Structure 1
Amino acid sequence: MADVPLADLVDLANGRARPSPDGAYRPYRTYGSNGVIGTSGRFNADAGTIVVGRVGTYCGTVHYSPDRCWVTDNAIIVTPKDGVNPRYVHYLLKSLDLNRYRMGSGQPLLTHATLNGLRVPRVPRARQDRAACVLGALDDKIAVNDRLAGLADELVRARYDAAAAAAASSVRIDALGTPNREAVPASRIDAAAPYIALEHVPRRHMWLTTWTDAAGVRSGKARFAAGDVLFGKLRPYFHKVGLAFVDGVASTDILVVRPAADGYRGWLLAALSSDAVVAHAAAVSDGTRMPRAAWPDLARHPVPWPGEAAARRFTAAVEPLARRVEAAAAEARALAALRDTLLPGLVAGR
């Protein structure tokens, strides 16, 4: 198949400045350079728009919006021409690794001229549709698994809030868990070991389903085990707290908290991940530019206590949710690997 300029397949336009909040009804997602950054009451791009990061570290990232949305001026609106499958264009652009075409270093930039001049295969519409169908089905299932994890998180928080509101007493956090202080020098870390840094811990989401291997680790790290709760102590207001599903090593900017008993794990996880505990950690953290929370300040902080039996029942309810999230995350990783394997050939029309 002959290659053609990308400009033959799409039209490009910069987004516009993010609109100010305009009422409680904001049904449209707002996209910045690295994806969704909020919602808006207005839209400036139609359903089936592809969004490409235009400036900053994440320029060249590619996102697909199945619905109308607002795209900020940090991103480019990519509109397929008539006869071109929008979702196919999304996968085509992802296959091009657009970040490598950025200009500048201090504030990287991706220009329309660069994008328009890229050579891409001209694939017949029927093959575009087949590629989009296969790759889209995989991504749709990954998205379902992600939503399942989000719903499980919301359910645990709601149950914790209800039980906490009815609790007649309180306990210190160090009655529920203690820090695992085992430090591992870089020379003793297996290159294949899972490594969790702060960037792998999602904000206000209590399941740790993402990590990398420790091959690039050059300094000592903190040992953690599956079932430990990891608490981001650097800039704790970022609310990075979650349950580890694997054994591995973590950045020293993360506190590793081990449940005092297996039956306390669910309550410990929900308490440490609660808005109240994170707000306390932020309030008592030390430092101005890079504030850090310390275990002693967390350890003596009181949290609601529903009683021994109720806390164990709470953990018994959390455990099957955690196992389901873990299984969904493993499936999503397998599906993503399959998608990435198939993508080059499918977008090329094979």
Structure 2
Amino acid sequence: MNKNFVLIGKITFLIVFSLVFASCASKEKPETEAKSERKEIPVKIVSIKPQTFVEYLTFYSKLTGRIENTKTNMVADRVEKIFVRAGQYVKAGQIIVQFPTNNPTLQFQQAKAAYENAEKTYNRFKELLKSGETSQQNFDNVETQYLVAKRNYESLKQMLFVEAPISGYVSNIYVTEGQQADIGKPLFTISVLDKMRAIAYANENEIQYLRIGMDGKIIWLGKEYPCRIISVAMKMDDAMKGFRVEFEAPNPKLELKSGVTVEIKVKIYEKPNAIVIPKVLVEKDANGNNFVYVEENGIAKKKYIQIGRTSSLDVEVLDGLKIGDHLIVEGRNLIEEGSIVKVMN
């Protein structure tokens, strides 16, 4: 019986010991999890420094020369000769494209002969009038016939020998020698490229900031070129749903090209020594209040901020942050107010 009593005692001891051990283990588990939850979260920070905040209005537009003139075809025939190449400088009145003079529809040769005969008759009657050998009426009739023949000849000549309407660069030629050209087809464009023009349309909010004479910059292929506003419409364009704004940019080296699409920026606000942070770092709480996270002594702190002006990438902070604050820029999605953080910069 004593043996049974001893056996029962051992079993009882083992049961009690197991219960005590399980209880201790269950108490240690939450403590371990709690310590795990307080694990340092890696973040990156930037120290806030004073900056100059600048706000721009941005537009996109196609460049054109200060003056551009495109000549169109006035006769249905083949192109006989092209005297210049694209990119070449020409003077007003210089022949650019020639069409055949034997076109039976135009009768250019007949018109030329009629003009030359009328000119000779005109010059002869001019001398006769001076010497008193003909009347003023006779001379007037001859002069009228001469002017009609001259005008007819010169009109046909302009159709067949197409001249540059202005001095400038041949920015494009739209035909080739031997090509059949229909009436109304563009032949070539002459551009004055010492200054370039761009037209943009500002909406109702943007137009209040724009004035004639304001400076801006054109950005093309990563390079900036100065420009200025030369006209601002006072009435909205119904078709474009905006106010027409025209820009002009010096082009002394002819680097800017007609027809290219450029970005135009106009500075409308500038504040030195401002607190400026990236817009993507600003978060909103359930009530729509703006806040950011900063690091203070290894702890993440939520800082509510007041925002001033905004640009495409940055915001101006009026209140809530100060110079020297450690703004958390990476790891924000892993933290909350009071999180233990480790700076990994």
Structure having the larger proportion of residues in strand: 2
Q: Radius of gyration: which is bigger?
A: 2
TM-score, length-scaled by structure 2? 0.17
TM-score, length-scaled by structure 1? 0.17
Higher relative contact order (CA 8 A, sep 6+): 2
